[in-house]
Structure 1
Amino acid sequence: MLTTNYVPGTPNWLDLGAPDIDAAVSFYSAVFGWTFQSAGPDAGGYGFFQLGGETVGAIGPLMDEGARSAWTVYFHTPDADATGKAVEQAGGSVRVPPMDVFTAGRLAAFTDPTGGEFAVWQPVDVPGLERVMEPNALCWTELYTTDAAAAKDFYRSVFSWSHQDMPMGGDVIYSVVSAPGGGEGDDTGHGGIMQLQEENLKAGSTSEWHPYFGVTDCDATFAAATGHGATVLIPPTDAPGVGRLAMVKDPAGAPFALIKGDPTLS
C-alpha cells in the first residue's frame, strides 16, 4: 500500500501538466474538493493541490510544444543522477535531466523502453505528498504498457521492484509491483503493470502511467467528473476482491481512475 513513509522506488509525488491551470483547478475542485496553492511567483505557474491543508498533488503548465495533458507519477530516489544512469543502462531515456527545484528537492523525468513516461523525486525540504491512501487522495499507480515483460524487467533493474503476477481470466495478467521496504506483510504493493490488449494496440494505445484516487462513492464521484466535462474510459465497475472502480479523462484529456476499496487486496 502507499504510505508517506517514503523509501526508494515508491510513489512520492504526482503532478498534472495542464494547458489551462484555472480550468483544471476548477474541475478537480468540483470533483475532489481540492484547493490550489501557488508555489510562488518564481515557480512559473506551478502550484499544489491540497485537501485539508495537506498536499495531495501538484499542477503546472505544459512546457513542451505539442505536449498533451497528463498526470506524471514520481518515484522516490535517494540520488536522481544515479537513477538517471540506471535508466539509460536499462534501455530507457532521459526527458528532463536531474535538476534542483529550489531547496525542495531534485527531480528528473524519464521514458521507459516501452514508452511509459515517469519521473523521480529526490527529497530535500519537501519529502513528498502529505496525504495518500485516503478519500480524494492518491491510493494506487498503474502502468498500461505495450510490453509488460520488458516493463517489468526495466523497473526491476532501475528500482529493484519485485512483482506478483495475478491471472485475471483468459490470458490477462495483472502484475502487482513492490519496492524493497515499501510496506509490511502482504501490503507491500504500490502499483500495477498490465499488458495492453491487442484491440487497444490496434486502436493506437501507448504505454502510460496513471493515478488512482480513492473515493467514498465511486458512482457519485464518477457522476461529478463526467458532469464537469470528463469523458468516460471505463464506467463504474465492480472488481471482485478489490473494490469498485472507474476511469475517465479530464476535460483536457488527462486520464485518471477512481476506486472505492483497497486495491492491494486480492
Structure 2
Amino acid sequence: MSLVSNQINYVEFAAADLTITKQFFEQVFGWSFTDFGPDYTAFDNSGLMGGFYRADMSAQTATGSALIVLYHEDLNACLLAIQSHGGNIVKDIFEFPGGRRFHFTEPSGNELAVWSDK
C-alpha cells in the first residue's frame, strides 16, 4: 500500500468487547484482525484499514458520529447475516437516489450502514 498525503488512511472505533466484535466482522464481512495487546486490534481486508480499541463507548449517528458505509451486492443477504451474527438493524432498508441501504449496530454498539446499487 502506498501512502498518499491528504487522504483518509485509517479509522478507529471503540469496542466494549473486542472478541465479540472481531468475531462479528470476521463472520459477516470476512475482515482480518491483528491484535496489539489486550486492548487493541487492527483490521484489514475491509477496504480501509482501521482498528478497535477497548472502551465503553460507541459511534452513533444520533450523537454526531461519522457514518461508515459498506457496500454489498446482496443487501438482503447481508442484512440477514448481520442479524444472525449478533448485529441489530437500527434503520431498515430504504431507497435513496442511486440505491438502497440500511443501518445496523455491531455487538459493541457502533452504527454502520450497508448500501447496494442492486
Question: TM range, normalised to the smaller chain?
Answer: 0.7 to 0.9
Q: Is the 8 A contact 2:18 2:41 kept in 1?
A: no
Matched with 2:77 is 220
**What letter corresponds to residue 211 of structure 1 in structure 2?**
I
Partner Cα distance (2:81, 2:87) in 1:
9
Q: Number of aligned residue pairs: give it.
A: 116
User: Could you list the per-position Cα deviations for residues 177-224 of structure 1 after superposition, in whole angstroms to 9, with x for gaps in the alignment?
Assistant: xxxxxxxxxxxxxxxxxxxxxxxxxxxx43221201121212111111
Partner Cα distance (2:26, 2:87) in 1:
13
**What letter corresponds to residue 57 of structure 1 in structure 2?**
G
Higher relative contact order (CA 8 A, sep 6+): 2
Aligned partner of 2:31 among 29, 34, 39: 34
Moved over 3 A (4+): 4-7
Partner Cα distance (2:91, 2:50) in 1:
23
Q: TM-score, with normalisation over the residues of structure 1?
A: 0.39
Percent identity (aligned): 22
Counterpart mapping for 1:84-103 below 5 A: none
Q: 1:55 to 1:255 in 2, by over 3 A?
A: closer
Counterpart mapping for 1:161-176 below 5 A: none
Partner Cα distance (1:227, 1:246) in 2:
16
Partner Cα distance (2:87, 2:5) in 1:
34
Q: 1:5 to 1:35 in 2, by over 3 A?
A: closer
Deviation at 1:47, TM superposition (A): 2.1
Matched with 2:57 is 68
Unpaired runs of 5+ in structure 2? none
Deviation at 1:19, TM superposition (A): 0.9
Partner Cα distance (2:8, 2:79) in 1:
24
Q: 1:70 to 1:207 in 2, by over 3 A?
A: closer
Say which SS state the counterpart of residue 73 (structure 2) adopts: coil
Larger radius of gyration: 1
Counterpart mapping for 1:223-262 below 5 A: 223-240=80-97, 242-261=98-117
Aligned partner of 1:57 among 20, 43, 50: 50
Unpaired runs of 5+ in structure 1? 72-143, 145-204, 262-266
Counterpart mapping for 1:32-181 below 5 A: 32-39=29-36, 41=37, 45-51=39-45, 56-62=49-55, 67-70=56-59
Q: TM-score, with normalisation over the residues of structure 2?
A: 0.80
Deviation at 1:5, TM superposition (A): 6.0
Say which SS state the counterpart of residue 57 (structure 2) adopts: coil
Q: 1:245 to 1:225 in 2, by over 3 A?
A: same
Counterpart mapping for 1:194-205 below 5 A: 205=62
